[in-house]
A and B are shown apart, each in its own frame.
Chain A
Amino acid sequence: MSLPLRTRAVILSVVLFFAFAMLWEVSLGKGTGSAANMDPEYAALMGATAKGASAMPGPLEVGAQIWDHIMDPFYDAGPNDKGIGIQLGYSILRVLVGFGLAVAVAVPLGFLIGMSPLFYRALDPFIQIMKPVSPLAWMPLALYTIKDSIISSVFVIFICSVWPMLTNTAFGVASVRKEWLNVAKTLEVGNFRTAFQVILPAAAPTIMTGMRISVGIAWLVIVAAEMLVGGTGIGYFVWNEWNNLSITNVIAAIFFIGMIGMVLDLCLSYLTKLVTYSE
């Protein structure tokens, strides 16, 4: 085949997508009236959705729902009925605030740890113990001490973003090539200038990689955190739609969560590219 690899990949993606949608549609067995075979009591529980069709929506229904959301993302009809754009906005805002605070703490602190072998060793056990803790385990503690569910979810985002950035910054700073530091030393460059013009650019790719990992984790965690604390956000939306038994909306939300996660990752990968240097 003479088409460029890129074009062939796009074609294959489209084919796979339609194959998947087809399989989905077929596996639902639409029109055979699956409710007929259902345990009558269960069918009664499922209510209207069970009448004549499976509760599981097909790809076309989901597509239409996604389209509806895109056409009117920001409507607000009371606490339990807000547009998906508003809910996503809440989640993004919380992630950005928690992540921003984590950057403000982790990068300077990581810098200090990386510069001082003593701190590096002294703080290592704490970091190693804290890093594998699921951020949601902090939630009760946060709710108890902060007593505000929104700030608590921001705190959880902060705590899960902090560790990858802290370890990556410390590692990046500690492994700056000795010869670059020697160049700065022979030129009698001050500490401040060395930190900003030698160490920071040298460690920047490692620091940015830490940020990219952090933002990915933060976006994973916010959905779960909002399911726990409720009120607003895309996590709450998913949970609410599950309670409404609107699987269509749950699937639509999954799609949007994935899209936003991808966009966040693309932003950071773009920023990483800006600071990456080749030797």
Chain B
Amino acid sequence: MSDSPTENPSSASARIKVEALAQRFPAPDGDDELTVFSDIWFTINPGEFVCLIGHSGCGKTTLLNILAGLATASDGTVIVGGEEVVGTSLDRAVVFQSHALMPWMTVMGNTAFAVKSKWPKMGKADIQKHCQKFINLVHLTGSENKKPSQLSGGMKQRVGIARAMAIEPKIMLLDEPFSALDALTRGSLQDELLSICSETEQTVFMITHDIDEAILLADKIILMTNGPEARICEIVENTLPRDRTRNNMHTHENYYPVRNHLIEFLVNRSASFQEELSSPDYDPRHPPVVGPTAESPGEVRARA
């Protein structure tokens, strides 16, 4: 850990490999175990923006907590930059499902708390300057001295994002950061996140429920089946060009193929996946990769 902000947070050390991951909890009644998910394999490459989609309760937050190092998996490993994850790291910043700001600290205080943790020897003025940069980035200039209780829901989420970005992590892990917001606020925050991430080539793993959000932000969308015993069903590559915006993306010819593919998954396949699972073609280590386009809407392109 160096004591000054680094220039390029995205490098080979930001590659995430998830191997044979499983999580089991003791069932509330008997001595039986509840398997939330098992045999999960996927890779996230440096600079990639990956979204995870799945129904409520399938284990998305559990998976993210394991990636963050907040929880330990029952089986399998997570490898980040060639090293196995044991415990949390300042290289992986988390934006929590419920903003998780400290209510007794101001916007500046919350951000500075993170910055001080990363660079303990940084001077007061430098911390202030560094935090200000990220507060400006999420358009909260002028609200530095407000407490979270004085902010709207969207502003709180933005502080959570500023706090995560301010430590210049190699990887950002976001747990449904915008799900509690109205559509308008969500849209503008998506735009902000998109521009920030493409500028910094940030590696991002984000959980979402919102299909359009995934199409706008993600390079790759991981589909998780319903729990218990959830699996990775498929990895969908986003076939829309990377310069897509919220306003123009649905005019692209690939938009509806991708969108329909995702909806089809959420509505039908996520529940009836057991049949696909038993087919000899399915290998949990290499889930099918599809890239729906106007010409070939649902064809398997490769295996990861």
Give the number of chain A interface residues (Cβ < 8 Å).
20
Tell me the smallest distance from the CB of A172 to a CB of chain B, in Å: 13
Closest chain A residue to B102 by CB distance? A180
Tell me the smallest distance from the CB of B28 to a CB of chain A, in Å: 19
Report A107-142 CB contacts with B as 1/0, cut-off 8 Å.
000000000000000000000000000000000000
Give the number of chain B interface residues (Cβ < 8 Å).
23
Known A179-B100, A277-B103; contact A187-B117, beta-carbon cutoff 8 A: yes
Is B94 part of the contact surface with A, judged by Cβ < 8 Å? Answer: yes
Tell me the smallest distance from the CB of B198 to a CB of chain A, in Å: 24
Is B46 part of the contact surface with A, judged by Cβ < 8 Å? Answer: no
Q: Is the CB of A198 within 8 A of B102?
A: yes
Report B73-100 CB contacts with A as 1/0, cut-off 8 Å.
0000000000000001110111010101
Partner among A185, A189, A201, A278 whose Cβ is within 8 Å of the Cβ of B149: A278
Is B147 part of the contact surface with A, judged by Cβ < 8 Å? Answer: yes
* CA gap between A279 and B147 in the complex, in Å: 9
Q: Is the CB of B88 within 8 A of A183?
A: no
* CA gap between A35 and B202 in the complex, in Å: 95
Report A209-242 CB contacts with B as 1/0, cut-off 8 Å.
0000000000000000000000000000000000
Tell me the smallest distance from the CB of B75 to a CB of chain A, in Å: 22
Known A179-B96, A182-B100, A277-B103; contact A187-B147, beta-carbon cutoff 8 A: no
Which B residues are in CB contact (< 8 Å) with A160? none
Partner among B94, B96, B113, B149 whose Cβ is within 8 Å of the Cβ of A279: B149
Which A184-211 residues have a C-beta within 8 angstroms of B? 185-189, 193, 197-198, 201-202, 204
Partner among B68, B89, B100, B149 whose Cβ is within 8 Å of the Cβ of A277: B149
Is B221 part of the contact surface with A, judged by Cβ < 8 Å? Answer: no
Q: Is the CB of B118 within 8 A of A279?
A: no
Is B292 part of the contact surface with A, judged by Cβ < 8 Å? Answer: no
Closest chain B residue to A201 by CB distance? B104
Q: Is the CB of B103 within 8 A of A179?
A: no
Closest chain B residue to A276 by CB distance? B104
Is B54 part of the contact surface with A, judged by Cβ < 8 Å? Answer: no
Partner among A183, A188, A204 whose Cβ is within 8 Å of the Cβ of B102: A183
Which B residues are in CB contact (< 8 Å) with A183? 94, 96, 100, 102
Is B167 part of the contact surface with A, judged by Cβ < 8 Å? Answer: yes
Tell me the smallest distance from the CB of B111 to a CB of chain A, in Å: 11
Tell me the smallest distance from the CB of B119 to a CB of chain A, in Å: 11
Partner among B96, B104, B148 whose Cβ is within 8 Å of the Cβ of A182: B96
Partner among A186, A193, A275 whose Cβ is within 8 Å of the Cβ of B88: A186
16 pairs, A vs B, C-beta closer than 8 Å: A179-B96, A179-B100, A180-B102, A183-B94, A185-B70, A186-B92, A186-B94, A187-B114, A187-B117, A187-B118, A193-B117, A204-B104, A277-B103, A277-B147, A277-B149, A279-B149
Known: A179-B100, A186-B94, A187-B118. 13 other contacts (CB 8 A): A182-B96, A183-B96, A183-B100, A186-B69, A187-B88, A187-B167, A188-B90, A189-B117, A277-B103, A277-B104, A277-B149, A278-B103, A279-B103
